[in-house]
């Protein structure tokens, strides 16, 4: 077996942990700079109030929920193929949501007051709900991991797995509802966003899982069993197609309403976001992965499946960028039927470009998720050990 | 289109308080407006304004009152920015950032052109002080709040700067303070990283005065008063002329109404 020798492996681990830690630290440093100087040092303004940090944070939070697919398939739906992979999916969920929440919290105008979010609760706020949803998510996933890794707790694994499954559906409903409950913006304000975010989480979470799983197998000099690859790539293709379906329905419904036609034309054809939508979200993030996952010569090879999964992740970022930034760049229709202008960008399309501190903070979220995963895998042996043992015994 | 304010429970002491308040407000006005210009503006607007009672320190805002504004777009002079200047002076909104999109704007002038006939209108736009404010609904900490008398405010001690209220506001009425601030008006605390918007000059209203924008308008285009008091100038005007709530389809029941659009 072509694994690294233990000394090299240990050195490689410390190198990865150091890189992850450095990226995280730079992200925190960027947040401190933003905190000290104010959001004047960002590209965000009073029209585009949520920027690149929110794109990264929402990707991490949505994918964190979806990455638990693998655990749910094993525990809730009894698929034995997925059971050895459940602990890794739990770890990734905790790591990714930590990275996402860190970015969201560090981007706050008053990040120093984060404790206020815990001591003052508004029950009508979707953000307020999330203040409950996220900590409980940590709790249920931690308990779930415990039931999977502690032999005495095995009898509770199914219950914990089911609770986690329900909770992640609730959690992602909450994330989608952040946008679904906005009353006046053409890009948002539809209940479709709640189920759409759930299917997006399934898709993006599984894509991340596939990439991480393959990386770890490669590290250990192993290749994914063909059956596992086959099942997981089929599942990914199904989710990619489902996201495409929701995307089509969302835009068709919007285009059908006269009041939203101008926005649809803007986002699909007449803005900097149009190219991101068609090339980034649809071509790179949807059609290419689907082709790679269904075309027999590529679908059978782990490399191409992983490339497809990576493309899905890249497409996810385009998707969220178009959705979040594009949705805000289009002016609010405060006076329907009138052309308007003012000193405050009324009636005008806004243009956003992220500043360096924003970018570093955003990457810091990825750094936190990466570092937590690297350390977690090293310390707690999250890899599907039974699977490895089985393969090693079989001489793979 | 005129929309009648929903009837609310009446406080039997209202009439007495209003009568007593007239004298207090009158005294207050002469005390704070010694300048010739302000007196002239005050006279120009006097016929339009209610004299509201000053709120005693420590006493709660009354739910029997609903403060509101009526803005006559027909009177709003093209290019005039006196209401904006007065607001920003009164509230200490003075920062001028390299990217103007990052400046706070508590009130702004919007130029409208009717697509059907080309008719041009200008009007001031600010927080509409909704009865059902989306900003209050979405605020995770409850920092966005509606006072008992209908004024929508941000508690600067509990705002965490998440900007969800800015996403939710249909009127783009809110701004984030993008820089550290100095030399603030002690009566109007503001803070870096907090969201803010028109307070309807709550610090003036509580002293029995009218908002700075109303007082500054040379055309008398803005009427301030208690929407719940049928005898108030604003309620009488709303009862007699067609007025509009912007995006009334959203059913937010704003306290700011417009005439002439």
Q: DSSP states of A18-58 as a string?
A: HHHHHHHHHHHHHHHHHHHH-GGGSS--SSS-S-HHHHHHH
Chain B residues with CB inside 8 Å of A128's CB? Answer: 139-141
**Which pLDDT score, from 0 to 100, does residue B125 have?**
98
pLDDT of residue A390: 59
Ranking A258-272, B9-23, B102-116 by mean pLDDT, the lowest is B9-23
Which residue in the set B102, B143, B246 is minimally distant from A40, CB to CB? B102
Nearest to B122, CA basis, from A46, A262, A339: A339
Q: B102–A125: do the CB atoms touch at under 8 Å? A: no
Domains of chain A, start order = 12-332+351-383 (1.20.1630.10)
Rounded to a whole number of angstroms, the distance from the CA of B123 to the nearest CA of chain A is: 10
pLDDT at residue B33, rounded to an integer:
36
Q: Which residues of B touch A336 (CB under 8 A)?
A: 247
A181 with B138: Cβ contact below 8 A: yes
Length of chain A: 396
Residues of A in contact with B197 (CB under 8 A): none
Distance CA A349, CA B156 (A): 30
Q: What is the pLDDT of residue B14?
A: 42
Residue among B254, B235, B230 at smallest CA distance from B244: B254
pLDDT, tens digit (0-9, with 9 covering 90-100), for A141-190:
999 999 988 888 888 888 999 999 999 999 999 999 999 999 889 999 99
Q: CB count, 10 Å around CB of A8?
A: 10
> How near does any CA of chain A get to the CA of B127, in Å?
13
Residue B49 has pLDDT above 80, yes or no: no
DSSP string, A351-380: -----HHHHHHHHHHHHHHHHHHHHHHHHH
Model confidence over A307-334: pLDDT tens digits? Answer: 999 999 999 999 999 999 999 999 999 9
Task: Output the pLDDT for position B2.
Answer: 41
Note whether A55 and A320 are within 8 A (CB): yes
Q: Which residues pair with B226 in a beta bridge?
A: B67
Nearest alpha-carbon partner for A61 in A29, A95, A90, A28? A95
Give me the residue from A38, A49, A113 closest to B166, CB to CB. Answer: A49
The residue in chain A having the minimum alpha-carbon distance to the alpha carbon of residue B79 is A342
Domains by residue range for chain B, with CATH: 14-259 (3.30.70.20)
Closest in A38, A50, A124 to B137, CB measured: A124
**How many CB pairs (< 8 A) connect A and B?**
177
CB contact under 8 A, A332 and B166: no
- For A71-82, the DSSP string reads HHHHHTS--TTT
Report the residue of B138, B154, B174, B253 to disrupt the A interface, i.e. the one with the largest count of A CBs within 10 Å.
Answer: B138
A128: closest CA among B98, B146, B164, B189? B164
Shortest CA gap B144–chain A (Å): 10
Query: Bridge partners of B67?
Result: B226
**The pLDDT of residue B55:** 80
The yes/no answer to whether this complex scores an ipTM above 0.95 is no
Please tell me the least confidently modeled range out of A123-127, A354-358, B26-30, B165-169: B26-30
The one-character DSSP state at B254 is B
Which of A242, A269, A241 is CA-nearest to residue A326? A269
- Residue A237's CB: how many other CB atoms inside 10 A? 21
Cβ distance A38 to B193 less than 8 Å, yes or no, reads yes
- Provide the pLDDT for residue B51: 54
pLDDT at B30 over 70: no
Whether residue B173 contacts residue B198, with contact meaning beta carbons closer than 8 Å, is answered with: yes
| pLDDT at B5 (0 to 100) | 46
- Token pair of B114, please? 């009717």
Distance CA A108, CA A123 (A): 20
Max avg pLDDT among A60-64, A256-260, B49-53, B179-183: A60-64
Q: Is the pLDDT of residue B229 over 90?
A: yes
Identify the DSSP state of A88.
Answer: H
**The predicted structure's pLDDT at residue A387:** 59
**What is the SS3 assignment for B111?**
strand
Show the low-confidence residues of chain A (pLDDT under 70): 1-4, 381, 383-396
Residue of A119, A323, A334, A340 to mutate when probing chain B, most B C-beta within 10 A: A334
Contact B250 A110 (CB under 8 A): no
Q: Nearest CA to B178 among A47, A388, A255, A282?
A: A47
Question: pLDDT at position A42, please?
Answer: 97
CB B255 within 8 A of CB B150: yes
């Amino acid at each position: 077996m072509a694994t690294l020798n233990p000394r090299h492996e240990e050195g490689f681990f410390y190198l990865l942990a150091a890189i992850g830690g450095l990226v995280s630290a730079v992200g925190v440093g960027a947040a401190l700079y933003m905190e000290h100087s104010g959001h004047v040092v960002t590209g965000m303004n009073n029209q585009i109030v949520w920027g690149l940090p929110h794109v990264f944070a929402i990707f991490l939070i949505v994918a964190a929920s979806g990455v638990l697919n693998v655990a749910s398939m094993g525990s809730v739906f009894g698929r034995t193929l997925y059971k050895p992979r459940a602990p890794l999916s739990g770890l990734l969920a905790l790591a990714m949501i930590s990275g996402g929440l860190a970015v969201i919290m560090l981007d706050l105008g008053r990040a120093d007051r984060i404790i206020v979010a815990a001591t003052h609760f508004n029950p009508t706020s979707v953000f307020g709900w999330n203040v409950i949803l996220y900590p409980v998510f940590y709790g249920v996933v931690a308990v779930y991991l415990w039931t999977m890794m502690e032999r005495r707790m095995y009898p509770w694994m199914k219950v914990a797995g089911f609770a986690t499954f329900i909770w992640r559906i609730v959690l992602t409903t909450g994330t989608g509802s952040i946008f679904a409950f906005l009353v006046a913006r053409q890009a948002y304000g539809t209940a479709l966003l709640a189920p759409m975010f759930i299917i997006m989480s399934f898709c993006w979470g599984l894509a991340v899982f596939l990439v991480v799983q393959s990386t770890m197998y490669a590290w250990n000099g192993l290749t994914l069993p063909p059956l596992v690859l086959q099942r997981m790539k089929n599942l990914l293709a199904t989710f990619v197609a489902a996201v495409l379906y929701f995307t089509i329905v969302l835009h068709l419904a919007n285009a059908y309403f006269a009041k939203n036609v101008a926005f649809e034309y803007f986002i699909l054809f007449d803005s900097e976001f149009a190219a991101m939508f068609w090339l980034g979200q649809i071509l790179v993030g949807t059609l290419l992965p689907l082709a790679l996952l269904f075309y027999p010569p590529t679908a059978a090879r782990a490399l191409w499946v992983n490339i497809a999964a990576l493309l899905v992740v890249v497409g996810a970022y385009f998707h969220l960028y178009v959705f979040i930034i594009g949705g805000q760049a289009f002016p609010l229709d405060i006076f329907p039927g009138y052309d308007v202008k003012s000193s405050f960008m009324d009636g005008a399309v806004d243009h956003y470009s992220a500043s360096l501190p924003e970018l570093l903070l955003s990457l810091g979220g990825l750094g936190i998720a990466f570092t937590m995963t690297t350390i977690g895998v090293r310390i707690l042996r999250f890899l599907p050990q039974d699977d490895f043992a089985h393969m090693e015994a079989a001489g793979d | 289109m005129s929309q009648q304010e929903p009837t609310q429970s009446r406080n039997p002491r209202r009439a007495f308080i209003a009568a007593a308040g007239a004298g207090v407000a009158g005294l207050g006005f002469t005390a704070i407006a010694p300048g010739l210009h302000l007196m002239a503006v005050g006279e120009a607007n006097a016929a339009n304004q209610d004299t509201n009672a000053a709120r005693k320190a420590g006493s709660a805002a009354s739910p029997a009152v609903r403060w509101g504004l009526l803005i006559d777009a027909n009177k709003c002079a093209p290019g005039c920015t006196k209401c904006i200047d007065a607001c920003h002076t009164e509230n200490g909104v003075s920062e001028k950032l390299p990217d103007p999109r990052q400046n706070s704007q508590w009130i702004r002038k919007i130029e409208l052109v009717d697509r059907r006939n080309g008719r041009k209108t200008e009007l001031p736009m600010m927080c509409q002080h909704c009865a059902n404010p989306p900003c209050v609904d979405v605020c995770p900490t409850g920092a966005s709040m509606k006072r008992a008398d209908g004024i929508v405010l941000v508690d600067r001690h509990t705002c965490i700067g998440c900007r969800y209220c800015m996403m939710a506001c249909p009127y783009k009425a809110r701004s984030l303070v993008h820089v550290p601030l100095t030399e603030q008006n002690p009566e109007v605390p503001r803070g870096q990283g907090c969201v803010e918007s028109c307070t309807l000059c709550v610090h003036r209203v509580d002293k029995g005065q009218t908002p700075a924008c109303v007082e500054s308008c040379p055309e008398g285009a803005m009427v301030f008063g208690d929407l719940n008091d049928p005898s108030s100038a604003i309620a009488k005007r709303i009862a007699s002329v067609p007025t509009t709530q912007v995006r009334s389809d959203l059913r937010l029941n704003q306290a700011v109404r417009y005439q002439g659009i």
